[in-house]
Structure 1
């Protein structure tokens, strides 16, 4: 009856194919789709698949059993017998065939399936005769397979009872995936060794001695399990962290190492001291411990005790640069101010700072962002120490595609020259208007030179962005904070000098302006210039490094330009990370 049913099923498939071919012939056209479908239905591959289907249907309910459960033993017996025979070409060929790895592998798989030996052999559970029947449900015996990775749990001593309890379960680790061990569980035994009067540090060598399995005897804890949140939280790390060098971490083996700028996925913030996280995009499901924001902020504060007692002045003068206007291939004039000329300023920008210690940023919550065609381009800020090559990189970007990249037009109160055009070379405004805009905080940078004001107005930045161009700004690091808003979404590139040895080699023929006020007088770099450049770069990175999206070492100008251009293309076309607040406004 089964065979008749299978034949009937196969007959139905054949009838269906016949009907399809008949319909195709009666409605045949010359399209490629019709020809392709007809060739496929008449091809040998499909008919062979139908035959295989027929054979599988025949044996579907027969449930065949293996004739032997150990073909590997039969193979060894046959090989010994063949070795005892008179040597011949056929015997040697058969021995060679049976000794090949893929044949032995096939027989090994056959035996595994025949014996149904799929799972690892677990040791027998310890006897329960020492416990009363009413106590048998008060503890659990847990046996876990040991592999190269940690079990993903940390332990601690309960201060009230002195017992060894599970402090935390690492998300994605072996303990978490098993679902058998929970936070708050009391460890009675580990591999048969009682935990009474033992320290948490003594568990590590006990686990190391076990070869394949680890057996725990635990008393379930009473701690309520918190519901796991599905919300994904991503943080950009703003400092380097090595768990091996952290004496405070509960277990160095479960710590997660990261570098400044890495994006981490936070999987648990239940512990106020230690968060659980993993590197974004990492295939490993197991999370690792990292310092929480609160813990790291306390550490940073303790490292700078003088900051707790220093109260900055409410109004603090900020040094700026006098003019070093550089003509960029006839496009527009670049504007930067100089700290060296700050004494001559009669009007200075004031900044108001809050009282008390402001901790350095530890983590920055970020979200993925992909620019839409209708969105404005992100503002590109280039910064770095004097002489490192920021202006040269900006100049090369402008010349590479002047229709795509652009710069702002500075404002000034001086008289317009005959060959100059208002709005092209400068925006020429009155001194009264300039000072009014200063009071209204419209200037990102400004200064005075020869009795005239010069400055970078934030409205000029908006004009460039509204033209659907990438606005390039060459700024001092303190300006970045003023532009670090949702409106501009700045992409900050820090241009960093190489080592002093590389600077001597790559800048041995380079020239630098002798004075910011003298555009014609130049000089070669000195060793003190190189030292000042490196020292200034270190100070900038230490204070403003959390604002930098990309750090480029300008050892070779052509290589640095290519790296910069490629990165700017990526943020225009590919998904990348921006502060969470920018993406949800």
Structure 2
């Protein structure tokens, strides 16, 4: 007899009852012996135990973390091939290429992509035959969990019917394969919807739980082949679908923030793309405004005009904004009142630095007084063999204690002006009849020394360095809210004149207000270039955050503009 208390539940009890019932009907025939051996055999008992374990596991409603481990393994193999060969990487590549490993991943993906929802209730009876109704009718029952079903509806302008406008990739409707775009919707849970507006139907779907039954007339249009794209973009603005009156269905929207990396899975709709946030466990795509739509809504083409104060240049030619009358800055990147067209999405790809590649250029920027110079100084002191800065050029006379190529590169005025005409300077200025400037060649020299080049410049200079040659990692140093700024800077000093080595003054309320407004203007105008934003409330904490971040970008995979890819 089988012990029914072993945890195998109803199956064990059923098997025990069967054996008990057959006990009086068994004879010595070959068939009876075979049946008894099969029912009492270890193989059947082991299968029952496996079934019992699966039932317990199913009761926990597990969800797979990924349903595309094959693709993940392929991406990993591609990255490993670009890494310096080592015994470990060779062994891992060998394992990933094994047929049984690939078969195992394939089985995992097949199971992960199946829907293991509870058994659906019986379908309602088909409606009575109507001689006037010539269209075929399909009744579809779907299980609705916590997430939306993954489809939007609209009223067809020509026929007035409620139709399925779009099916979101990875959602319940998409996984079922039973409803497609263009299907006419007649009933939801037995409620006729043909005379309702889409705005009245959406709440019915939103508040439905468990089984949701749809009565639809299938579309007669040939369904186009859907190809899921693998385009990744970095969002350069915040988006909240709940606050967007233009979105067809707020619950179908995908919320994201500036800096998030999104996978665009469908661009078939000119106004609403389908996307997933990279790294999310939820595989259902959501609606996001297309580039064309986002550029046209509310503020049409987003143009902002800012007048940013010039903060001066590096070292001895960096002056306070309060005393810049003697410094006539001539900068490479256009006019101070330039009109900027803010981008919406930036197409990106994953990148991890190989050991033989040069280090990425690190650009620090921020408003005057926020602490950019001090953070750079601390980085240099923390590891002078790893970090370095550019040596500026000047036309003034060399002092006795100065060394060529250490404090400055000393050149003639003719040479400096010739380099200006040849666009060799990132920034330059004139002070007391002498030129001072930072050249592109000085940046290249630091990088060629296999060091991390630290550069602090005004935000508009970044565009001149935003290329595959430098792959700049741009850090924006931002002040805290003004209450915290007053508290943290109450004893700090700010440069008060061009003689920065000796003359200083305490921050004023006007300085705080200028710092906050300048930071906001910089972020609004150039925020799409900033890969990291650090709030300098406490200098020690800001330095630790910056140092840790710069360590990570040298070893971890990061997203860079696809225009930086090697051709």
Using structure 1 for the length normalisation, give the TM-score: 0.74
Which residue in the other structure is 1:525 paired with?
Answer: 507
Q: Against the structure 1 CA distance between its residues 294 and 266, is the aligned structure 2 distance closer, same or farther, given a 3 Å change threshold?
A: same
Task: Name which of 183, 187, 190 aligns with 2:188.
Answer: 190
Tell me which residue corresponds to 1:242.
240
The reply on whether 1:368 has 2:350 as its aligned counterpart is yes
1:324–1:516 contact (8 Å) kept in structure 2:
no
CA distance in 2, matches of 1:166, 1:419: 78
Structure 1 position 496 matched with structure 2 position 468 = no
Deviations along 1:106-145, one digit per CA (max 9) or x if unpaired, are: 79959x99xxx99524223323442469947x22111112
Counterpart in the other structure of 2:441: 459
Partner of 1:68: 14
**Counterparts in 2 of 1:282 and 1:396: CA distance versus 1, 3 Å:** same
Distance 1:448 1:179 in 2: 69
Instruction: After TM superposition, list the pairs within 5 Å mapping 1:24-423 onto structure 2.
Output: 68=14, 119-131=118-130, 135=134, 138-207=136-205, 210-299=208-297, 301-302=299-300, 320-322=310-312, 325=315, 336=318, 343-345=325-327, 348-349=330-331, 351=333, 359-423=341-405
1:401-420 deviations in whole A, cap 9, x for unaligned? 00000000000001111121
* SS at 2:330 equivalent: coil
Corresponding residue for 1:484?
466
Query: Helix, strand or coil for the counterpart of 1:569?
Result: helix
Counterpart of 1:450 (choices 421, 432, 438) is 432
C-alpha deviation, 1:349, in angstroms: 3.9
SS class of match (2:514): helix
* Cα contact 1:320–1:445 (8 A) shared by 2: no
The 3 A distance-change label for structure 1 pair 496 and 580 is same
Name the CA distance, whole Å, in 1 between partners of 2:308 and 2:156.
54
- 1-side partners of 2:410 and 2:314: how far apart? 18
- The SS at the match of 2:346 is strand
CA distance in 2: counterparts of 1:174 and 1:198, whole angstroms? 24
Deviations 1:427-470 (A, max 9, x none): 11110111111111111110011100000011000000000000
1:562 pairs with 2:544: yes
Counterpart of 1:503 in 2: which secondary structure?
helix
Change in 2 beyond 3 A, CA 1:345/1:561 = closer
Distance 1:108 1:402, change over 3 A: closer
**Counterpart of 2:537 in 1: which secondary structure?**
coil
Q: Note if contact 1:155-1:165 (Cα within 8 Å) is conserved in structure 2.
A: yes
Q: CA deviation at 1:530?
A: 1.1
How has the CA–CA distance of structure 1 residues 550 and 121 changed in structure 2, closer, same or farther, with 3 Å as cutoff? closer
Q: Describe the SS at the equivalent of 1:471.
A: strand
Give the deviation of 1:321 after TM superposition: 4.9
Q: Which residue of 2 aligns with 1:432?
A: 414
Structure 1: 5+ residue runs without aligned partners? 1-63, 72-104, 327-334
Q: Aligned equivalents of 1:357 and 1:209: distance in 2?
A: 47
> Is the 2:493–2:505 Cα contact (8 Å) retained in structure 1?
yes
Q: Distance in 1 between matches of 2:341 and 2:557?
A: 30
Seen in structure 2, the aligned counterparts of structure 1 residues 573 and 338 have a Cα distance that, compared at 3 Å, is same
Which is worse superposed, 344-353 or 442-451?
344-353
Q: After TM superposition, give the deviation of residue 325 of structure 1 in Å.
A: 2.3
Distance 1:360 1:196, change over 3 A: same
Shift of the alpha carbon at 1:285? 0.9
Take 1:558 and 1:206, find their aligned partners in 2: how far apart are those partners?
54
Q: Is the 8 A contact 1:324 1:519 kept in 2?
A: no
Distance in 2 between residues matched to 1:543 and 1:118, nearest whole Å: 49
Map 1:511-550 to 2 at 5 A: 511-550=493-532
Distance 1:120 1:259, change over 3 A: same
Q: Give, in angstroms, the shift of residue 201 of structure 1.
A: 1.6
**CA pair 301-224 structure 1, distance change in 2 beyond 3 A:** farther
Give the whole-Å Cα distance in 2 for the aligned partners of 1:457 and 1:437: 9
Offset at residue 394 of structure 1 (A): 0.2
Aligned residue in 1 for 2:30: none
Q: Return 509-518 or 155-164, whichever deviates more.
A: 509-518
Give, in whole Å, the separation in 2 of the partners of 1:407 and 1:274. Answer: 46
* Number of equivalent positions: 468
User: How far did 1:359 drift?
Assistant: 3.0
CA distance in 1 between partners of 2:53 and 2:548 (Å): 54
CA distance in 1, matches of 2:384, 2:198: 65
1:37 match: none
3-state SS of 2:360 partner:
coil
CA RMSD of aligned residues (A): 3.2
Secondary structure at the counterpart of residue 68 of structure 1: helix
Distance between the aligned counterparts of 1:358 and 1:107, measured in 2?
62
Please state how far the C-alpha of 1:503 moved relative to its aligned partner. Answer: 1.5
C-alpha displacement of 1:539: 0.8
Give the Cα separation in 2 of the matches to 1:498 and 1:475. Answer: 21
Contact 2:295 2:301 in 1 (8 A): no
